[in-house]
Chain A
Amino acid sequence: MAGPLEQFEIKPLAELSVAGIDVSFTNSALWMVIAAVLVTGFMTLSMRRGALVPGRWQGAAEVMYEFVANMLKDNVGTAGRKYFPFVFTLFMFVLFGNLLGMIPHSFTFTSHIAVTFAMALVIFIGVTIIGFVRHGTHYFRMFFPAGAPIATAFILIPIEIISYFSRPFSLAIRLFANMTVGHIMLKVIGGFVGLIGIFGVLPFALLTGITVLEFGIAALQAYVYTILTCIYLHDAIHMH
């Protein structure tokens, strides 16, 4: 029986290296490609007719579009309009990564800290650049909000700096931890089903419930990842 951590193993499918750095095409990369292909297929094939009265697939694609567009509008406002393609891509990529992970024997690339942290770092650096481009040195006011008594600067500034720099970590660890723990739990409880004979129905029932829960978490964590990105964008564009 495979251990609960085996599902997270990165297995190279084609060895590759560029300038001495290992860039092998792995199962992780394969599932990223599958996610990207599915997202692209979903968003283009469903809109192929571009009907005035949408069918089922077109309606679904439009719902995703408007869902992310509204999220961005509500959290960032109209100034966030030009970041919509990025936010949309981020949401769909994470959502499909999470949901594809629910397929037995698949691979969940969002359960890897390297992936979630790399994305979080891009968001963090991008948002910081946007903040400085829009506000110049005034962006440093982020660490000491206007209106706060000057005497609190000693405490407030370190707290704000820590909170600002912990953003990519909280973003990355939340997604990675949720995905990893969920999959370990499914694997461990699934292991009990066969081990305890007839009483296996109990963990099986539990497993059924947790599977439903995990689908919810897969969608929810994609949403959380995206909405936090929106909130950071809001801070960069409008300050506090």
Chain B
Amino acid sequence: MPQFDIATFSEQIFWLFVIFGILYFLMSKIALPKVGEVLERRHKTIEDNLGKARALKDETDAAIAKYEAALAEARDAAQADIREATEKAAAEQAAKTEALVKKLSKKTADAEKAIAGAKDDAMKGVAEAASEIAREATDKLIGVKVQAKTADKAVSAIVGE
């Protein structure tokens, strides 16, 4: 078996040490630090990005809270405005109604007064006509000329003025 040929041992071991030594040097000084550096940088980048994402999320949360507070404030203000406007409108409405009622009752009073005036005039006319008719009637029936004043008095007594 060639593996047990002791004559080849020295050359195998010599070259093993030389080549393994060179490979060890290349790995430890050049190749592995580079890989380690790349892995380290990737790890750091991922961590950094996670941190950034966390900060942005916090910022977003703060903005949302602010927005919600503003929204609530605006809603309160709007409600206050609506309440005020409603009250004002109701007061105005009440005032208008009152004015209208006053105007109407005044018109009614005027109309009543006019009706009363007209009734008085009409009654006066009736009394005058009655006293005239009474004077004419007495003159024709019994030939007594009654004084106008007396006739008026008599009519008034009957009408109950």
A residues adjacent to B (C-beta < 8 A): 5, 8-10, 12, 16, 18, 21-26, 28-29, 32-33, 35-36, 39-40, 43-44, 47, 50-52, 54, 58, 61-62, 65-66, 84-86, 88-89, 92-93, 109, 111-115, 118-119, 176, 180
Contacts and interface: CB of A to CB of B under 8 A. Distances in A.
A8 B1 contact: yes
A177 to B, nearest CB: 10
Nearest to B45: A52
B11 A10 contact: yes
A36 B12 contact: no
Interface of B: 1-5, 7-17, 19-20, 22-24, 26-28, 30-32, 34-39, 41-42, 45
A5 B13 CA distance: 21
Nearest to A21: B10
A93 B23 contact: yes
Contacts of A47: 31, 34-35, 38
Central interface residue in B11, B26, B41, by most chain A CB within 10 Å: B11
A26 B16 contact: no
Contacts of A52: 41-42, 45
5 contacts: A23-B10, A28-B12, A44-B34, A112-B12, A115-B16
A5 B1 CA distance: 7
A89 B24 contact: yes
Q: Binding site of B, secondary structure by majority: helix, strand, loop or mixed?
A: helix
Contact of A10 (B2, B23, B31, B39): B2
Contact of B23 (A21, A26, A40, A176): A40
A44 B32 contact: no
A22 B10 contact: yes
A9 B2 contact: yes
9 cross-chain pairs, A with B, having the tightest CB-CB distances, nearest first: A85-B28, A29-B15, A43-B31, A10-B8, A23-B14, A36-B23, A8-B2, A114-B9, A32-B19
Contacts of A39: 23, 27
A119 B15 CA distance: 12
Given A21-B14, A65-B35, A113-B3, 11 more contacts: A23-B14, A26-B12, A33-B19, A40-B26, A40-B27, A43-B35, A47-B38, A61-B35, A86-B24, A88-B27, A114-B16
Contacts, number: 130
A118 B23 contact: no
B75 to A, nearest CB: 48
B3 A176 contact: yes
B28 A89 contact: yes
A32 B15 contact: yes
Contacts of B19: 29, 32-33, 35-36
Central interface residue in A12, A47, A54, A92, by most chain B CB within 10 Å: A47
B153 to A, nearest CB: 131
B31 A23 contact: no
A120 B34 CA distance: 28
A114 B8 contact: yes
A116 B76 CA distance: 86
Given A23-B15, A28-B12, A93 B39 contact: no
A43 B26 CA distance: 10
Given A29-B19, A44-B30, A89-B20, A24 B11 contact: yes
A54 B39 CA distance: 10
Contacts of A9: 2
B35 A26 contact: no
Contacts of A109: 12, 16
